[in-house]
Amino acid sequence: MDIEKAIHNFKLRGFSVQHFAAGEEAAAYLCGQIRNTTVGIGGSKTADQLGLYEKLSEQNTVFWHWRVPGPETLKKANAAAVYITGANAMTEDGEILNIDGRGNRLAGQVFGSKKLYVVAGINKLCPDFSSALERARNVAAVENCKRFAGKQPCQVDGKCHDCRSADRICRALLVLWAPMMDMEAEVILIDEELGM
């Protein structure tokens, strides 16, 4: 993947971009940027691997349903001043793709917060939209589905079937082509394989 091309294109689309060699550097940067505020975190294996909940909780009020389950946590996360999420896939052209089942993670990326941070390992970067959609559906979504009990066909053969299962957790796709109006958005790219 051409990371410099991606950084250039994210910037052309209006995203701020920070590029780090390692996850520890990215986490330290975020802790330096995010202080004395409220923070929501969407379901993100990358955020979990970086220890962001624990680190950011030292100087902020952080809401994450992976740590404190329940509808109130989801609501508070989406109303926080800062929202942090991962990405299922990103394109070299500067697009960010995410698939979700409940919608809280998608909603947090498009409304409510003043600042959005998208944290992603280099493994999420794809050459184009078609390959990014393929990755989002057949890598990230399938891996995510394995974390839950259910009867989704992708758990059997490891590929998306666009199923009609009642247990389906892939219910919506969001593509960010640019930061939303009245919201700052920053992409945090890390030269490690992180997340799903």
Residue 15's CATH number: 3.40.50.10420
Task: Say if strands 89-91 and 61-64 run parallel, antiparallel, or are unpaired.
Answer: unpaired
Give the rounded percent of residues in the chain with a pLDDT score beyond 70: 99
Domain-embedded: residue 83: yes
pTM, entire model = 0.95
Domain-embedded: residue 73: yes
179 Cβ contact partners less than 8 Å away, ≥ 6 residues apart: 13, 14, 15, 116, 185
pLDDT band of residue 191 (cuts 50, 70, 90) is very high
Give the structural domain span for 65. 3-190
Segment 114-132, tens digit of pLDDT: 999 999 999 999 999 999 9
Domain-embedded: residue 102: yes
Helix (H, G, I), strand (E, B) or coil at 12: helix
Domain-embedded: residue 196: no
Res 186: pLDDT: 98
What is the DSSP annotation of 17-69? EEEESSHHHHHHHHHHH--SSEEEE-S-HHHHHTTHHHHHHTTSEEEETTTS-
Distance between CA 101 and CA 47 in Å, rounded? Answer: 18
Domain-embedded: residue 41: yes
Res 89: pLDDT: 98
- Split into its structural domains, the chain has a count of 1
Segment 12-43, tens digit of pLDDT: 999 999 999 999 999 999 999 999 999 999 99
Domain-embedded: residue 195: no
Segment 61-114, tens digit of pLDDT: 999 999 999 999 999 999 999 999 999 999 999 999 999 989 999 999 999 999
pLDDT band of residue 162 (cuts 50, 70, 90) is confident
Domain-embedded: residue 138: yes
